[in-house]
Amino acid sequence: MEWLRGCSGRLLVLVQVLLWGWARGSELTFELPDNAKQCFYEDITIGTKCTLEFQVVTGGHYDVDCRLEDPDGTVMYKEMKKQYDSFTFTAAKNGTYKFCFSNEFSTFTHKTVYFDFQVGEDPPLFPNENRVTALTQMESACVSIHEALKSVIDYQTHFRLREAQGRSRAEDLNTRVAFWSIGEAFILLVENRPPLGFSSIPGLTYFALSIQMLLKTLMKQARGTPAEG
Lowest mean pLDDT among 50-54, 164-168, 205-209: 205-209
14, containing H or E segment? helix 2-18
Separation in Å, CA 165 to CA 72, 86, 95, 113, 227: 36, 18, 35, 11, 16
Can you state the angle between helices 2-18 and 137-191, rounded to 10 degrees? 70
Terminal alpha carbon distance of the chain: 40
Lowest mean pLDDT among 45-49, 147-151, 201-205: 201-205
Q: What is the mean pLDDT of residues 53-65?
A: 89
Query: pLDDT at position 2, please?
Result: 39
**Is pTM beyond 0.75 here?**
no
Res 77 pLDDT > 80: yes
Which comes out higher in pLDDT, residue 131 or 117?
117
Res 58 pLDDT > 80: yes
Q: What is the mean pLDDT of residues 107-123?
A: 86
Res 9 pLDDT > 60: no
Contact 65, 111 (CB under 8 A): no
Query: pLDDT at position 43, please?
Result: 93
Count of residues making up the chain = 229
CA 143 to CA 23: how far, in whole Å? 15
Query: pLDDT at position 72, please?
Result: 93
Residues 62-72 pLDDT 10s: 899 999 999 99
**For the chain, how long is the longest CA-to-CA vector?**
99
CA 131 to CA 137: how far, in whole Å? 15
CA Rg value for the chain: 27
Res 162 pLDDT > 60: yes
Res 192 pLDDT > 80: no
Query: pLDDT at position 101, please?
Result: 96
CA 214 to CA 103: how far, in whole Å? 35
